[in-house]
Amino acid sequence: MKTQYYNAVTQKENGTKLAGQVLRAGGLVAFPTETVYGLGADGLNEEAVLRIFEAKGRPGDNPLILHVARKSDAKDLWTRVPEKARQLMDAFWPGPLTLVYDRAACVPDAVTAGLGTVAVRMPSHKTALALLRAAGVPVAAPSANLSGKPSPTTAAHVKRDLDGKIDVILDGGPCEVGVESTVLSLLGQPTILRPGGITREMIEAVIGAVALSPAILSPLKEGEAAASPGMKYKHYAPQAEVRIAPPGSPRAIASSICAAYDVAGRAGKRCVIFATEQTRGFYCNREYAIIGDRKNPSTLCANLFAALRSYDDGAADLILCEPLDESDMGLAYMNRLLRAAGFAVLQPGVPL
């Protein structure tokens, strides 16, 4: 299959109109959102939805998010709109918050992986909204990467993973948030299944206490059921190994990273440090990349996936990363980083 490229910036509405027609005809379109690029198909067309799983190599038991152009579209996809959903939609839609609730009968099994619930979100990216309006249907869309790889935050990342496997890539420039949406279940006690651009603190200011799924910061135990099936799969893995320093002061974090760098370097590994504005001074004579400002975790979220991908193709064997506090956007950052590292944290004296 030949993948067509449309540019949402230079072709303006034409690009989104053409891409919308492809979706209506059952095709696959990668498109920008404020979080990451999505790989969309008509969410009410089971055959089209199944093509997403095939193109990504995604396990069939990992459900998809339905993307809508208007808040009012959610009511057709759920059995009803609970009061807390209404409050959250008013506060945060359009934006990076996905809400999970009981599914309506029109939602195909392929979207929900047979679950009784469906995840819905209204993105805020102008191109995403224009495409959703042009398509005129709810659009099922996971991140537009090969399953297991870091999510794509540019059209070039999508091309690298999916060129020749999908109908259209709609280029709308780099994504702003850089990590995927927050996934919040509204069945019973509201529970964050995946942290993202709308933080726990922001949600609690609107609906009161929310729980955090234990799978956010630790691996699922053998045989444990996942509230969100996506949690059980290997995620965000670049080609290099990733290791995280244990928590501590910036100086202590940098010192464990330098020790690991030097040990790995002596063993012939090519290492790179993902540094921050605050710690760059600790890493002199070592290879590092500044990926953000520790005082503003959103900056690290915005750059993480692109930074991981930039060391693919053998550019590094080992990527050493700093942990952040797990509050506000630091929680989303640590959730992605721990998965990229396969939960591997550096331990003093323990071989890498």
- Contact residues toward ligand TXA (CB under 6 A) are 33, 35-36, 38, 62-65, 96, 98, 100, 112, 115, 117-119, 123, 141-143, 180-181, 183, 193-194, 228-230
Looking at the Cβ atoms of 84 and 194, the one nearer to ligand TXA is 194
- Look at residue 149 and give the partner it binds from ligand TXA, Mg ion, none, a contact being a CB closer than 5 to 8 Å depending on partner kind: none
Please report where in the chains the tokens 């990504």 appear, as a residue.
56
Q: How far is CA 231 from the centre of its chain?
A: 12
**CA quadruple 213, 232, 264, 286: dihedral positive or negative?**
negative
Inter-CA distances, 50 with 4, 60, 63, 281, Å: 20, 8, 11, 50
Inter-CA distances, 76 with 26, 70, 137, 141, Å: 20, 11, 11, 18
Looking at the Cβ atoms of 105 and 284, the one nearer to ligand TXA is 105
- Look at residue 36 and give the partner it binds from Mg ion, ligand TXA, none, a contact being a CB closer than 5 to 8 Å depending on partner kind: ligand TXA
Instruction: Tell me the site size for Mg ion, rule CB under 5 A.
Output: 2
In whole angstroms, the minimum distance from the beta carbon of 201 to ligand TXA comes to: 19
Select the span of 8-16, 88-96, 136-144, 295-303 touching Mg ion (CB under 5 A).
136-144
CA separation for the pair 329, 309 (Å, rounded): 21
CA separation for the pair 30, 128 (Å, rounded): 10
In whole angstroms, the minimum distance from the beta carbon of 22 to ligand TXA comes to: 17
Looking at the Cβ atoms of 288 and 305, the one nearer to ligand TXA is 305
In whole angstroms, the minimum distance from the beta carbon of 193 to ligand TXA comes to: 5
Q: Catalogue the E-assigned strands of the chain.
A: 4-7, 29-31, 38-42, 65-67, 97-102, 117-121, 139-140, 168-171, 182-185, 191-194, 211-212, 241-244, 271-275, 288-290, 318-321
- Look at residue 118 and give the partner it binds from Mg ion, ligand TXA, none, a contact being a CB closer than 5 to 8 Å depending on partner kind: ligand TXA
* 296 SS3 class: strand
Contacts of 188 (CB under 8 A, 6+ apart): none
- Look at residue 181 and give the partner it binds from ligand TXA, Mg ion, none, a contact being a CB closer than 5 to 8 Å depending on partner kind: ligand TXA
Q: Is 143 in the site for Mg ion (CB under 5 A)?
A: yes
In whole angstroms, the minimum distance from the beta carbon of 258 to Mg ion comes to: 33
In whole angstroms, the minimum distance from the beta carbon of 58 to Mg ion comes to: 8
Looking at the Cβ atoms of 161 and 322, the one nearer to ligand TXA is 161
Crossing angle, helix 13-24 and helix 126-135, to 10 degrees? 40
Looking at the Cβ atoms of 170 and 245, the one nearer to Mg ion is 170
Contact in structure between 139 and 67 (CB atoms under 8 Å): yes
In whole angstroms, the minimum distance from the beta carbon of 142 to Mg ion comes to: 5
Looking at the Cβ atoms of 193 and 340, the one nearer to ligand TXA is 193
What is the C-alpha R_g of the chain? 20
Contact in structure between 28 and 55 (CB atoms under 8 Å): yes
* Chain position whose Cβ is nearest to ligand TXA: 230
In whole angstroms, the minimum distance from the beta carbon of 295 to Mg ion comes to: 28
Binding site for Mg ion (CB under 5 A): 142-143
